[in-house]
Structure 1
Amino acid sequence: MTMTILKSYYLFAGLALALASCGSTQNMVTTPAENIDKMPMKVGKIAENDLKRWSHLDLGKDTIPGMSVDKAYTQLLKGKKGTKVIVGVVDSGIDIDHEDLKPAIWTNPKEIAGNGKDDDNNGYIDDIHGWNFLGDAEHENMEYVRILKKGDDGSETYRRAKAEHEKDMQEAMQGKQQVDFILAGDKAIADHLKKKNYTLDDVKKIETTDPALMQYKGMMMQILAQTSKEEFDKEIEEFKDYVYGQINYHLNLQFDGRKVVGDNPDNLNDKKYGNNNVIGPEKKGAKHGTHVAGIIAQTRNNNKGGDGVASNNVYIMAVRAVPDGDEYDKDIALGIRYAVDNGAKVINGSFGKYYSVHRDWVHDAIKYAASKDVLVIFAAGNESYDLDTMNKYPTDSYDGQPEISNNVLIIGATAPSYGSEMVAGFSNYGKNSVDIFAPGEKIYATTPSNTYQYLQGTSMASPNVAGVAALIRSYYPSLTAAQVKQIIMESGTTLTQKITVGEAKEVKPFNEVSKSGKIVNAYNALLMAGKMAKK
């Protein structure tokens, strides 16, 4: 997220915000991969207009490692009409009233709005735009906290969860001290100057012998030398929300976020819960899901916000199942099944955790999606882990075992500059556990109440790929989910650049941090799809 300035000033370990037919004359890659490292790459700051849509640019033309989406539209899709594809977005909720998403929001054609009946007999009353499996719940524990609350069963999982809780709680309390100190300093400076929106020059001019105020003056001078007061106010509020969210909700053994839902989360057959408010009880809580949906479907070329990868070709089905905290396996399993049963051909899941009590429920849902020819795309995670050495849930393969199905893609995140730091510093990776990489750092898209924002995470990389998958399924509907997965992995651009990954900044060849060794390329994917569809 956006804590760069504050983290550089008061860094503590553990602060991590999670958050066309193709002729034979067309070539797969305009710039051969072996020549890319010899190209004059853009250096320095990317122009704002480019940064807002860098994931759509082309490495060979723009020297920015995007997905060649613009090139696909201008050279392959111009004048062609695809079929509408439903994309299920399993997330925190979506602001379906957003000006840039409204044209792409799915409406259930079999349901009559507002009559209080289950017209289509799918088990969900008035599910006009999707379903909210969290009801009025907003905050939640981490999964390992829920494990601790069930009591010591003598297992290694319990011991690991207990140790992790103690470590995370200690770091959260340190974070609370730091955020409280920063907020106290901001208030002291504002009170002294008698204005909240002060400047760096204002702070420099403060004359005082008060040692506390002098300390606060030094702190705020350092911060405002790197960012504006307006940006600081926004970042410190997010910092506070994160730290207090950890203490009050995520790590709090006394907090029960599920009580308001009213179901038994350990009973998969207890299905009559939730509601049809896919935004959620608080619109700001839908920020993550709204951003994810925008990456796929925000309107192209309307001079608002960014551009969706597949905006004219998709309907977004909202499935609210990801709270502020760790998701429940039950909600994810039922959410995937809901999307499949109601027509989704692509499902995006920008969430994940490192403990899973009922992972088999999610596995079965993934296999169900495979049986119905639905492609499921998951974010790899944002902890800089090598997933070949650590399980992250959900995925399609654990502990080096064979994949449970052939319809899942696991996506790592790249940054907007080609070079050694092209893999985003937060991104998980894995030669056997991550399928491919896509743009995930500094992604500009929709946020609630007709706003737009840069966010970052593998959460942003995954919907970029979901958009490409939707384009393929729109223009080549005869191709199966397994074929679309194959196309995305095989048609990507292979790079020989050495990059750094993980917290230790280990140096590896780019093609050693995922199965494919590639970055997603929409142009290449549509070329390959056209050839495969002809066969």
Structure 2
Amino acid sequence: MNILRSYYLCAGLALALASCGTQKMVSTPVENIDKMPMKTGKIAENDLKRWSDLDLAKDTIPGMSVDKAYAELLKGKKSTKVIVAVVDSGIDIDHEDLKPAIWTNPKEIAGNAKDDDNNGYIDDIHGWNFLGDAEHENMEYVRIVKKGDDGSATYRKAKAELEKEMKEAMQEKMQVDFIMAGDKAIADHLKKKDYTLDDVKKIETTDQTLLQYKGMMIQVLGQIGSKEDFDKEIEEFKDHVYGQVNYHLNLQFDGRKAVGDNPEDLNNKKYGNNNVIGPEKKGAKHGTHVAGIIAQTRGNNKGGDGVASNNVQIMAVRAVPDGDEYDKDIALGIRYAVDNGAKVINGSFGKYYSTHPEWVHDAIKYAASKDVLVVFAAGNESYDLDTMNKYPTDSYNNQPEITNNVLIIGATAPTYGTEMVAVFSNYGKTSVDIFAPGDKIYATTPSNTYQYLQGTSMASPNVAGVAALIRSYYPSLTAAQVKQIIMDSGTTLTNKVNVGEGRDVKPFNEVSKSGKIVNAYNALLMASKMAKK
């Protein structure tokens, strides 16, 4: 993972299309899209911050046409609140832009240390934290290696993976240590920490080590821009690398000790606490961003606009640590969400090894039996999921889907053309259902801050938000119907795109099952017609 990179305003490569009439299913005839003249240039900052909401035809940005849906289909319509469970790293429920949308358990009395609703969880006012005070965790393949050689192919594969990843992590540690040493040396020489690129260029010295650091920092600052941006990114790079070495890949680290349960026993359910933020607020960054994509307040000029902010209540389910999640926590987290009224569950997490996939399978089937839609991120390793398994999902080894209530989401970038599939996104003709905006997504982060993040983790809540809108305005529709609506109503594009680590060229409509990008306008229009039937 290359974290030491700058989130620049990307060059907008979109279509100059004319807007079409009201309430037609596709914004422009698909066969005409690739024949239109291309528009190049930077996307304006205000547009980039909310590009998921924009429309390909009207705005020349391949968003989900959310603005168009609100303006033309939803204005003045009655809706009901839908509970969306965010199974993630924790959520800053005190964030100014999320507070109005946080779910409160109506059957629980806050602070009385009693399980008022008899659901097995004491004082679960806004959700439940299945990780307790744990923050960091091993990768699943490291946990497999720790159990010892059982002679299986899985053990051998996990051991090889650990050796490979540790070697890469140690190389990255050398890199980050060198960069940080260079930064300190330059700052000490200049006698200031907030130096500029010009300051570095003006350094005159015969010290060969300092000259080496000077050349490095000229190159780094030339790519990243300001020292402020560099400081943020080197801190993220350091956290990632040291997290790998100290926690994720460390055979001596026991992240589960702080939880106090037996992760191999699904019946051992009395663990965790009601602190859905988690022990460290900064550890809730991922979950807070995911929740914001769905529910940050629309139109308040703070951050971006949540897809379904006025129509949802966000239930916080903390089950994803810094490292790989446990199957037990995910299975119980899904069941908790279902039992407490969620109609949509977002899961922006995943791994490539699973010791108890059947536990999660059963939880997904339980969600299906209770008419709950589950949305999962496809993953960020540029893999073709038709050739390998990513957990969790609803179909393994190209077998039939285990249920009809799960959507697997790939990520698109804010430019139409060959790079429309985000460079990191997994894909798959049979394993990924549909794509949605996931690159350069602006949303809430802890302590009333906002940030651009990227990943299929961001694409998944965009779809969960659209699903929540459908269920809010058309509550008679089932989870299976909502899934089918989202897939059938998306915008089909026939342009060729680059995918995978090798940037293979494929037609866009062949990198997912539907061959489409989610379109909220089309989905709500189709939902209206289906609900009438």
Are residues 63 and 171 of structure 1, via their aligned partners in 2, closer, same or farther at CA, if it must alter by over 3 Å? same
Cα distance in 1 for residues equivalent to 2:183 and 2:474: 56
| Structure 2 equivalent of residue 18 of structure 1 | none
Map residues 39-438 of structure 1 onto 2, 5 A cutoff: 39-226=36-223, 227-438=225-436
The answer (yes or no) to whether the contact 1:340–1:372 under 8 Å persists in 2 is: yes
Cα distance in 1 for residues equivalent to 2:308 and 2:25: 21
SS of 2:40's equivalent? coil
TM-score by length of 1: 0.96
The answer (yes or no) to whether the contact 1:377–1:409 under 8 Å persists in 2 is: yes
1:26 CA displacement: 2.5
2:440 maps to which of 429, 442, 445: 442
| Structure 2 equivalent of residue 30 of structure 1 | 27
1:2 CA displacement: 7.9
Cα distance in 2 for residues equivalent to 1:304 and 1:55: 16
- Does 2:519 correspond to 1:521? yes
| Structure 2 equivalent of residue 16 of structure 1 | none
Fraction of identical pairs, as percent: 88
The superposition leaves residues 301-353 of structure 1 with CA deviations (integer Å, 9 ceiling, x where unpaired) of 00100000000000000000000000000000000000000000000000000
1:451 maps to which of 449, 474, 482: 449
SS of 1:97's equivalent? coil
Cα distance in 2 for residues equivalent to 1:177 and 1:360: 40
Q: Which amino acid aligns with 2:254?
A: D
Q: Which amino acid aligns with 1:31?
A: T
The answer (yes or no) to whether the contact 1:135–1:261 under 8 Å persists in 2 is: yes
SS of 1:225's equivalent? helix
Cα distance in 1 for residues equivalent to 2:433 and 2:38: 26
The answer (yes or no) to whether the contact 1:296–1:308 under 8 Å persists in 2 is: yes
Cα distance in 1 for residues equivalent to 2:368 and 2:439: 30
* Long gaps (5+) in structure 2: 8-20
Cα distance in 2 for residues equivalent to 1:281 and 1:40: 52
Cα distance in 1 for residues equivalent to 2:324 and 2:6: 25
Q: Which amino acid aligns with 2:34?
A: D
Over aligned residue pairs, what C-alpha RMSD do you find? 1.3
The superposition leaves residues 362-412 of structure 1 with CA deviations (integer Å, 9 ceiling, x where unpaired) of 000000000000000000000000000000000000001110000000000
The answer (yes or no) to whether the contact 1:439–1:461 under 8 Å persists in 2 is: yes
The answer (yes or no) to whether the contact 2:419–2:498 under 8 Å persists in 1 is: yes
The answer (yes or no) to whether the contact 2:22–2:72 under 8 Å persists in 1 is: no
| Structure 2 equivalent of residue 13 of structure 1 | none
- Does 2:465 correspond to 1:467? yes
TM-score by length of 2: 0.96
Q: Which amino acid aligns with 1:135?
A: G
Cα distance in 2 for residues equivalent to 1:534 and 1:376: 24
Cα distance in 1 for residues equivalent to 2:344 and 2:36: 35
Cα distance in 2 for residues equivalent to 1:355 and 1:116: 37
Cα distance in 2 for residues equivalent to 1:5 and 1:443: 16
The superposition leaves residues 129-171 of structure 1 with CA deviations (integer Å, 9 ceiling, x where unpaired) of 0000000000000000000000000000000000010000000
Q: Which amino acid aligns with 1:138?
A: E
Q: Which amino acid aligns with 1:5?
A: R
* Long gaps (5+) in structure 1: 8-23
Cα distance in 2 for residues equivalent to 1:3 and 1:45: 23
Cα distance in 1 for residues equivalent to 2:440 and 2:152: 41
Q: Which amino acid aligns with 1:3?
A: I
Q: Which amino acid aligns with 1:354?
A: Y
Q: Which amino acid aligns with 2:448?
A: N
Are residues 6 and 511 of structure 1, via their aligned partners in 2, closer, same or farther at CA, if it must alter by over 3 Å? closer
Are residues 482 and 6 of structure 1, via their aligned partners in 2, closer, same or farther at CA, if it must alter by over 3 Å? closer
The answer (yes or no) to whether the contact 2:4–2:237 under 8 Å persists in 1 is: no
Cα distance in 2 for residues equivalent to 1:316 and 1:511: 33
Q: Which amino acid aligns with 1:436?
A: I
The superposition leaves residues 421-444 of structure 1 with CA deviations (integer Å, 9 ceiling, x where unpaired) of 000000000000000000000000
Cα distance in 1 for residues equivalent to 2:68 and 2:482: 19
Cα distance in 1 for residues equivalent to 2:50 and 2:34: 23
Q: Which amino acid aligns with 1:302?
A: N
Runs ≥4 residues deviating over 4 A: none
SS of 1:258's equivalent? helix
Q: Which amino acid aligns with 2:279?
A: P
1:79 CA displacement: 1.2
SS of 1:348's equivalent? strand
Are residues 170 and 458 of structure 1, via their aligned partners in 2, closer, same or farther at CA, if it must alter by over 3 Å? same
Cα distance in 2 for residues equivalent to 1:225 and 1:386: 35
Are residues 308 and 25 of structure 1, via their aligned partners in 2, closer, same or farther at CA, if it must alter by over 3 Å? closer
| Structure 1 equivalent of residue 5 of structure 2 | 5
Q: Which amino acid aligns with 1:298?
A: Q
SS of 1:116's equivalent? coil
